[in-house]
Structure 1
């Protein structure tokens, strides 16, 4: 157990554009950062295809994970200074929980794959389950470091990420409606995308956080800082995470991987797709943890560059569109206009496009704030405000601003299609002129919201 309490002789710092300094004080944290599994996160972008819209968004899961660790460290420091436990079960902070909280914060995203959520959707992986596997598998360097703390420590850290750890304070630091993960990615993504509305007063929020028996609450006098955070998160989803061009590039990426798998399963297989050996286990649905950890954004991008020269015209064209940033166009639709999509697809097919790979419907919705509802299966931990007498009130019950967006999904549904369908300069315009005219007539129906720009 000596490793548990071992501190570095002199704390190490990482310069960071969001937090200024990230302070590493425990030997175990530094050793975890130096594992090959954690270093792999340097090669996975935090925002995936959003970097094709916001050119500054080149930051990685590595930098985000360090940021989540740093915010968690500050929370632990605040709790230990101001709310240290006095007697067992008093609901205050037990600093013996610090190390498991810090390790869970640092490692919470270690299971993400290349291009994160798109890859996860195509190959039916689950980054949270893979994170737990990385932590508990004796084959990983991460597990070896965690086991040096104690034999049960890897599972303890994994249980925080799985939300089964017995101390709700530790779980809510990493996973709740106001947690270290969300606070870091909002600030970091706002910084790297050049947006200002994603910022909020982190210092104030950390100051008004406090532990209690059932988790973490916020002092009543910090309500406006919490409101600001909720609104910032809402705006970031609308302007950054749900951006239609980023989603259009995700559609191309998804179709590109689907086409590669289809070609692989066809009669020609590897000669068509430059033998992407590292993807074969995923095409066959037979991958293991070692296969998964070989992949990162660069691996896939290299394969995409090879596929540009593939004999299969769809695979080659999709690779070109993704690498050279040629997004699909999109229009917003709803229940009333959804019936128009079938005819639009038909026209796109007549124009010579394979509708399976050049069209898509996509919806992106987020719940800005979720007040507790016992009838909901997956309701999030509600935000509690603590009054001077210790009584707790739920945020939306006292904040008119938060109440206005509570339980209301925000986002839209979009139909994606080739930009060529809007072009009058297309080589096929003479042959398909009636099709193009009819397509645009349907598209500019007063019921449809106009196509988004590049």
Structure 2
């Protein structure tokens, strides 16, 4: 038997709080799970700094990746089975891409990427194509198989139906993280009827379509996503932690560039500081490594790095105020001047953070981040775009919501032991009661 068709003698299962069980029967999937690159995902939190807001949010990219795999397994085995043109090779490719889609995420994911201008999708493809255990497993299915998996991740693979399973407006990735994140944060927003959606899915040439009878389940899914973004993912306290995390990394980089002598030398950061990150360097990073440095940097001589690390490790986060950049830019400039006079560097202690989300979009050909819409299969056999049939979805289609917050250290501002008059002016501008 060829490796790509090889099955385990006995099915393996993972107990899962969202899907009850994750089923593994394919030898290749089991071998991929056992690679060191995939096991690394146990040490990367799915929700970054959200655990500082919702204490249960300690789940990992490993959990989520297994969940996405399980949803895709159910789709290809239950919905696509027997479909003309759907081969065993496409099935295995879909399962591997689902399992490995988040392989390149770094510690604290998006905050980390912004500071060092990294791209997790690039590193996902680099791991799949590089000298790694994952690549060695994939190659057992053929020398070109890793390239096909990387193309699915990059959204360039010729079979768009395969891509749509893990990257579309109603894909396995979103269906897993909404439910998983709701479960671990303890909120009710992310729940929707996934079983119903899976039952009404129908494969078409370029994407999965949804039977019209399942429209209300899809509406519920889209509204769940909308609520999760604003109640969980963009929670202002989580964003405060992300602001401090980002500023720690910026400060460490600035100190390195100015030849500061660290007590605890950031050897794991050097390649990123120099913008010469190798795959080997990248794979050595996980959140335990980052938190080790933050723990040690609480004793550094540099007062800013020391203070920011203490804040992050001890959850002494910045407070926030509503902020409208277009209307309040003069106020921001005035506050920046006052912060400097008070001895607080506004680069690190006065931060505007913006969050933006587009919950659902119709097709905009040629535009950046162009999105395929969710299509409904009508009783007549015609295909209709979702927002043309759903008043609920039509009301939010193409509408981007953006929120701005101004973050600052309330304890510094309220400490009148020095520069009392300046801090009083700051409190007045921020509308903080004395």
TM class by shorter chain equals over 0.9
Task: Tell me which residue corresponds to 1:267.
Answer: 259
Change (3 A) 1:431 1:275: closer
Matching of residue 325 in structure 1 with residue 333 in structure 2: no
Taking the aligned partners of 1:96 and 1:32, their CA distance within structure 2 comes to 16
TM-score with structure 1 setting the length:
0.93
Taking the aligned partners of 1:71 and 1:122, their CA distance within structure 2 comes to 33
Taking the aligned partners of 2:313 and 2:282, their CA distance within structure 1 comes to 23
Task: Kindly report which structure 2 residues correspond to 1:270-309, keeping only aligned pairs within 5 A, or say none.
Answer: 272-309=262-299
Taking the aligned partners of 1:198 and 1:214, their CA distance within structure 2 comes to 27
Taking the aligned partners of 1:78 and 1:435, their CA distance within structure 2 comes to 67
Comparing 219-228 with 406-415, greater Cα deviation is found at: 406-415
Task: Kindly report which structure 2 residues correspond to 1:126-137, keeping only aligned pairs within 5 A, or say none.
Answer: 126-137=119-130
Taking the aligned partners of 1:419 and 1:431, their CA distance within structure 2 comes to 15
Measured against aligned partners, the alpha-carbon deviations of 1:304-345 in whole angstroms (never above 9, x if no partner) come to 111111111111111101111111111122222233111122
TM-score with structure 2 setting the length:
0.97
Contact 1:363–1:411 (8 Å) recurs in 2: yes
Task: Kindly report which structure 2 residues correspond to 1:169-180, keeping only aligned pairs within 5 A, or say none.
Answer: 169-180=161-172
Contact 1:264–1:273 (8 Å) recurs in 2: no
Taking the aligned partners of 2:407 and 2:260, their CA distance within structure 1 comes to 30
Task: Tell me which residue corresponds to 1:55.
Answer: 55
Taking the aligned partners of 1:310 and 1:440, their CA distance within structure 2 comes to 30
Contact 1:273–1:310 (8 Å) recurs in 2: yes
1:314 to 285, 298, 304: 304
Task: Tell me which residue corresponds to 2:353.
Answer: 362
- In the TM superposition, residue 388 of structure 1 has moved relative to its aligned partner by 1.8
Task: Tell me which residue corresponds to 1:142.
Answer: 134
Taking the aligned partners of 2:216 and 2:402, their CA distance within structure 1 comes to 25
Taking the aligned partners of 1:110 and 1:174, their CA distance within structure 2 comes to 13
Taking the aligned partners of 2:178 and 2:88, their CA distance within structure 1 comes to 27
CA RMSD in angstroms, aligned pairs only: 1.5
* Runs of 4+ more than 4 Å apart: none
Q: Which secondary structure state, in structure 1, belongs to the residue aligned with residue 268 of structure 2? A: helix
- In the TM superposition, residue 421 of structure 1 has moved relative to its aligned partner by 4.9
Task: Tell me which residue corresponds to 1:106.
Answer: 99
- In the TM superposition, residue 442 of structure 1 has moved relative to its aligned partner by 1.6
Contact 1:45–1:60 (8 Å) recurs in 2: yes
1:226 to 207, 212, 218: 218
Q: Which secondary structure state, in structure 2, belongs to the residue aligned with residue 414 of structure 1? A: strand
Contact 2:80–2:203 (8 Å) recurs in 1: no
Q: Which secondary structure state, in structure 2, belongs to the residue aligned with residue 176 of structure 1? A: coil
Q: Which secondary structure state, in structure 1, belongs to the residue aligned with residue 299 of structure 2? A: coil
Comparing 248-257 with 275-284, greater Cα deviation is found at: 275-284
Q: Which secondary structure state, in structure 2, belongs to the residue aligned with residue 438 of structure 1? A: helix
Uncovered stretches (5+) of structure 2, i.e. residues with no partner: none
- In the TM superposition, residue 261 of structure 1 has moved relative to its aligned partner by 1.2
Comparing 46-55 with 323-332, greater Cα deviation is found at: 323-332
Contact 1:80–1:95 (8 Å) recurs in 2: no
Change (3 A) 1:273 1:100: farther
Measured against aligned partners, the alpha-carbon deviations of 1:214-234 in whole angstroms (never above 9, x if no partner) come to 211000000000000000000
Matching of residue 167 in structure 1 with residue 154 in structure 2: no
Q: Which secondary structure state, in structure 2, belongs to the residue aligned with residue 8 of structure 1? A: strand
Taking the aligned partners of 1:290 and 1:182, their CA distance within structure 2 comes to 29
- In the TM superposition, residue 350 of structure 1 has moved relative to its aligned partner by 1.8
Count of aligned residue pairs for this structure pair: 432
Taking the aligned partners of 1:361 and 1:434, their CA distance within structure 2 comes to 24
- In the TM superposition, residue 432 of structure 1 has moved relative to its aligned partner by 2.4
Taking the aligned partners of 1:52 and 1:123, their CA distance within structure 2 comes to 23
Matching of residue 418 in structure 1 with residue 409 in structure 2: yes
Taking the aligned partners of 2:370 and 2:281, their CA distance within structure 1 comes to 34
- In the TM superposition, residue 210 of structure 1 has moved relative to its aligned partner by 0.9
Task: Tell me which residue corresponds to 2:80.
Answer: 80
Uncovered stretches (5+) of structure 1, i.e. residues with no partner: none
Taking the aligned partners of 1:324 and 1:421, their CA distance within structure 2 comes to 16
Taking the aligned partners of 1:209 and 1:339, their CA distance within structure 2 comes to 52
- In the TM superposition, residue 273 of structure 1 has moved relative to its aligned partner by 4.4
